[in-house]
Amino acid sequence: MSVKNPSLGWERLQDVYYRNRELCKLSIPPGTEFKLKLTTTLLAVEADNFIEIFHYGGQSLARIDLNTAPTKIICYDFDYEDEGSLIMALSDRIRVYYNWYPMQFRDYLLPDHIEDTIWDYKNRVVVLSSSQDLYKFDGQQIVRICENNERFTLLTKNHWDCNGKLAVLLGFDRIFHLSVESQKLEADNVEEAWHSVVVSPQGLVCLYNAKSYGSRIYKKGSILPMDIMLESHPEKILWCANDTIACSFNGDEIKLYGPDSSSVTFWYPEGLLELETDSRGLRVVTADKVNFISRVGKETASVFLMGSTEPGSILLDSVTFLSTQTPRAVENLKIINLDQGVAECLEATLDELEPYWQKKLLSAAVFGKSSLPRESQNSSLFVDACDKVRVLNMLTEKGIILTAKHLELLGIDKLISRLIKSGNFHESVMICKFLKVRGKLPKIFSAWASAKILLSSDLDDESILESIVKLAESLPVKVSMASVATTAFNEGRPTLSKKLAKREPLPAVELSLLLELDECELALDEGLRLGIPEMTLSVLLTLKERLTVAQFTKIIMLIMREDQLFAYFCRNDVNYLIDFYRQADQLPDLAYALWLQGASRGTSSECVPLVKELYNRVANDSLLKNDQSILERQVSVVEFQKSLEQTHQLSVINSSLDDTLRQLITKHLDKQLASCVKKFRIPETKLYHLKCQVLSEQQRFDDLHKFALEKKSPIGYIPFFKSCLRQKRKKEAAIYVRMISGAQYDKKLDMYLQCESFYDAIQLAAKEKDIPNLKRVYKLVPPNEPQLKALITEHMDKFGSQR
């Protein structure tokens, strides 16, 4: 293995170094005609009407037969938002290949009202053929973002470009900038014609004039444009990362351009096949390998640059000297900032692809760290770097060649998503282990289990279930079975789907899933087993919407005959309860519901015979026997009310017995009142309370007094007093205070004062020789009652002289 210093292959563009690194070998048979698309992790090779998807290491993932395309294929490319997916633009649709293990795709058609076809596609934006309107594919549908209205004409597909956020369109005399998100189109006049445009991932725009070989770089609304003159017409212009223009010439030469038209050149004698902009540089495919041009990081330059005196470089040299010149190695540590040196070596490690240099740099970092004071040592940085290197090397073995910066920009979620699409489930789990992101394991498990079901048509349900359960139990986190069960159901395995759903750890998800799988009875059984009324009720409500009343009632009768949860929930929906109890043959409950319905409609009298009949049909129920006597009484009440309506035109039907008594008192029907009291055994106390209340409300105070004197009141005379007081008839109220016997002195005095019967209060207090209360009354007596004040004074003087 070559151990030459990596900086020997670097090229300097002003103050920045660039380098070319070989990512992997590429074996393509000579003479083969093919087209190539590539992304950070995948290659798409088109040949003989097939597109084959590969990892960089040569592992084939899937094969797409282009002859099966429903309409003409316009173009295809890896998705800029999810590079693990391939988007194919056909004349009437967007086809997304979103999974490779197994291969799955989904079509998104142009809206029905569009009679045009797709002309070109770039980064989720399409241009139509005739109108040249622009549409965006948002992942769910194709929506219009710009109506042309003949404002511009795109002559070739080089006359427009889009990075997914900004689309730049070259008209005859104007340049149009379209914000994909805001759908705002702005036009700028130009003095010269431009023949092609490329937009960087960060929104830098590069225009090219094929006649003058001139190029202009700018960013809309920010910096001044930078002009670059090329020596000749380039075969291709791309962005290297986000800020450097790369041009290919003569089939074997790539130049990177900086300000003032300065450039550096990379040569590829084996010939260039394809170039692709990368988030960290430029990917270059030749006949036998895939290369990567990228900027050299600051820390890497500090460590490897020839003649560097940075701490990282000296620390790396010290490791080399350890075996032969130990004293020199130790002396080197004394003249550098060890913290900085360790950090630079660790950072450079993460940017290297060669295992030799990774080990060398890690050894240097360990050597430097071991020489630091204990309080300055940060082992977590070293451990994290080792874990990342382990992950990167594991990915390299699978043909996914990344640096740490790539991994950081890509993100763990997107990386795992790509591995899942490719069927690399074990690697995904190992990454979660090394990077300590256990929260990603449920997603990996669901994808693996779904793939297991899709690709195991020759296995029976029990074998698949055993494999899935075994893996789920081996993971350190709980995993959801919802998406797996759905996959099984869609694949025509309802039994497997049901068993998987019952293993869902979240009750709410389990019940919802069972309902989606149309396992209504099982969902209800599980809800009852879990003993969570809210979830059981949720299931019942869902079933009620889906099923007829007869079907729903049958399920409840079979599963919940002894459980009144739903009946209690519907306690205010009397119509539903009547229908339900009738079908469930629950006669007592039906009778009660009918009675409630009658009461709410004011027709309870009509329900009484039916309720009585329902009760008679229930045998051997002691509680209902007691109710039957009540019903008999109610029937008599209704008959009595009907007779009153016929003979005296009283509207008392459907009224309570108390209201009937009130009406009789109000209408002076004393004979009928006595008959009602006798017939229905109305307690005397109830009658007195009712009559006292009604007579006072009708201001019939003479009748009230007469009624009070008929005989000794069974309820006493305080209710009479309060009834008069409520009607603000204080004089009449005072009469009943005198009739109260056995009341305490203080209470009786307060009652006299409440009804302002001051004379009675004075006499009562004087009888008790209560001077303090006499003084209290004195203060309450109005000024226009001097004789009462004199009477109080006389009593107080008399009591004072007696002392």
524-576 confidence digits (pLDDT tens): 888 788 877 888 888 888 888 888 877 877 777 777 766 777 777 777 677 77
Residue 45: both structure tokens together: 């090779």
pLDDT exceeds 60 at position 652: yes
* pLDDT given at position 469: 93
The pLDDT of residue 2 is above 50? no
**CA-to-CA distance for 215 and 220, rounded, in angstroms?**
16
Among 215-219, 513-517, 603-607, 693-697, the range scoring the smallest mean pLDDT is: 603-607
Whether the pLDDT of residue 373 is over 60: the answer is yes
Residues 6+ away with beta carbon under 8 Å from 428: 416, 419, 420, 440, 444
The DSSP line for 122-179 is ETTEEEESSS--EEEE-SS-EEEEE--TTS----SGGGEEE-SSEEEEE-SSEEEEEE
Amino acid 650: pLDDT: 75
pLDDT tens column, 101-134:
889 999 999 999 999 999 999 999 999 999 999 9
User: Which residue in 577, 558, 575 sits closest to 566, CA to CA?
Assistant: 577
Rg of the chain in Å (alpha carbons)? 47
The mean pLDDT of the chain is: 85
**Domains of the chain by residue range:** 11-31+194-294, 297-376
Rounded CA-CA distance 566/533 in Å is 10
User: What mean pLDDT is predicted for residues 360-365?
Assistant: 90
CA distance 316 to 342: 9
Helices (H), 475-603: 482-490, 494-501, 507-516, 520-530, 533-546, 549-559, 565-569, 574-584, 587-601
pLDDT band, residue 622 (cuts 50/70/90)? low
- Which H helix or E strand runs over 739? helix 730-739
Q: Which of 37, 91, 86, 54 has its CA nearest to residue 69?
A: 91
- The pTM score is 0.70
Residue 372's Cβ-count burial label (10 Å; 0-12, 13-18, 19+) is middle
